[in-house]
Structure 1
């Protein structure tokens, strides 16, 4: 089994705070990502959403479409309404060969609100759980029937953030709901990626690698700062530049025959963290970690 290495355009231009890298064209993101050594990109807000337009652009750069974020609103609309809402996104992913959809329930989320501290992350009531789970199952079943699996993204500042919330989500959803394991978001919420990988090995269908600068995370928590302030202060960085130990995680992925994408998704201020420099660092470190773990890479 082997993995492919991809990157998210957050390295160059930020979706939650568009002023970060706002002047950076898509061409720069793609050319520098390829130059850094990556085989594919996730979607960002500067990407065309018509597969007829985007496909040739990616092909010209020798890149594949990895996946793309979808903002779910299942707490406020039915599964049928959600399916209708996601069809264009699903069509784009399916048309360009992506096998997973990055899905996150964003009702009441606060990660895009700079003035709202992470301590105010929304929590699901019992009624909320009873609403979310069957609707998510239904949406995930539909996507899987279309050839694209939901990869649920636990995310700081959303209703599925903590290890306990991830555990309940995995226990109560059907196998059609895959898990996106995000190292930075998990550590930021008090979890352990190695423990999570072992626990949910058969559900993990996508992996995001962002590292954590431990002292910045501590400062964000101690001063009760927001997610965006954490990003601006340098809480996240590329794998190998923080304190997360990736080799045991990758050994676990190898043992479980994981064969999906491993994606650098490390939002920083591009004016502070030079994008090409950090993209190269992230790719080189991922290759080193894979080699140490015996995890094969394909282009």
Structure 2
């Protein structure tokens, strides 16, 4: 690509601990948090997410000092929820959400990424519940998500962005559309993860063009179509699929990120586009060169 590519001036690019193979607050296979911060800044990113709560320091003064020293800012925190279980899980959900939302707010971010719970274990593949929700569970999922959006906004001033994810109940085009059609746009927006959506058969550009007003946040990643075909055929759970390399380095996979970013730019709103290349577990020296090349590639797209 050449310098004639128009600048995507509404897109704010960042990366996340996930791109360094970080899935858990504490895991000996993961890079230490200071190394992540050093490398993400050196790779050319200004924005980061908090990642799993407890991976980065949870004391806001300490975290603010560490990020500022590297020229980094926080775009969002992340929470995991099982809201299709209804009001019975609200108290435990809120206890989990409140600490993360408080730190997210303290760090000056505006977004809370909400990931639905998995219907099968992402490590063992054990089936935890039916992969298809009943009508009653769909009702609980949508109404409790609206409740979460309202409470997070009223108490912390944050916007929730729900993240369709492989091996959850909000995954395919059909289920994402059903979820969006049943929730209040003032309370619930979407974190469109291009890799997860492609993994589940969806078209990111089409989703942006169809539900543009609901797109509140982007995660940028790609899938390897050949590995994905084997994963689908073998019914491989998400965790082992990542181990097979199903999420690959841009621009070698799908979807093409240039058209996705162009479609997002056309919405005319400021959007974060946070790189997430799932590769847990990975050697500690693997993430940085990929992150650097990915940042260079995104600049070539205008971002």
Task: Tell me whether the two structures share a fold, i.e. TM-score over 0.5.
Answer: yes
1:209 to 205, 210, 220: 220
Task: Report matched runs for 1:88-103 at 5 Å.
Answer: 88-103=99-114
Indicate the residue corresponding to 2:49 in structure 1.
42
2:72 is equivalent to residue 60 of structure 1:
no
Indicate the residue corresponding to 1:7 in structure 2.
15
Indicate the residue corresponding to 2:39 in structure 1.
32
2:288 to 276, 279, 286: 276
Alpha-carbon offset, residue 84 of structure 1: 4.5
Indicate the residue corresponding to 1:231 in structure 2.
242
Alpha-carbon offset, residue 110 of structure 1: 2.2
Q: How far apart are the structure 2 equivalents of 1:255 and 1:241? A: 25
2:128 is equivalent to residue 128 of structure 1:
no
User: 1:198-243 CA deviation, whole Å, 9 max, x = no partner?
Assistant: 1111111110011111111111112221211111111002331313
Q: How far apart are the structure 1 equivalents of 2:121 and 2:204? A: 21
Q: CA distance change for structure 1 residues 243 and 71 in 2, over 3 Å: closer, same or farther?
A: closer
Q: CA distance change for structure 1 residues 80 and 259 in 2, over 3 Å: closer, same or farther?
A: same
Q: How far apart are the structure 2 equivalents of 1:20 and 1:156? A: 25
Q: CA distance change for structure 1 residues 16 and 184 in 2, over 3 Å: closer, same or farther?
A: farther
Asked whether the 8 Å contact 2:21–2:287 carries over to 1, the reply is: no
Unaligned segments of structure 1, at least 5 residues: 292-296
Asked whether the 8 Å contact 1:238–1:282 carries over to 2, the reply is: yes
Task: Report matched runs for 1:73-152 at 5 Å.
Answer: 73-76=82-85, 78=87, 81=91, 82-106=93-117, 108-110=118-120, 112-116=122-126, 122-145=131-154, 146-152=156-162
Alpha-carbon offset, residue 105 of structure 1: 2.1
**Aligned residue pair count:** 288
Task: Report matched runs for 1:250-265 at 5 Å.
Answer: 250-265=261-276
Alpha-carbon offset, residue 112 of structure 1: 2.1
| Secondary structure in 2 matching 1:75 | helix
Q: How far apart are the structure 2 equivalents of 1:236 and 1:259? A: 26
Q: How far apart are the structure 1 equivalents of 2:285 and 2:197? A: 22
Q: How far apart are the structure 2 equivalents of 1:88 and 1:133? A: 23
Q: How far apart are the structure 1 equivalents of 2:58 and 2:234? A: 39
The TM-score normalised by the length of structure 1 is 0.89
Indicate the residue corresponding to 2:206 in structure 1.
195
Q: How far apart are the structure 1 equivalents of 2:222 and 2:105? A: 30
Q: CA distance change for structure 1 residues 223 and 152 in 2, over 3 Å: closer, same or farther?
A: same
Unaligned segments of structure 2, at least 5 residues: 1-8
Q: CA distance change for structure 1 residues 112 and 278 in 2, over 3 Å: closer, same or farther?
A: same
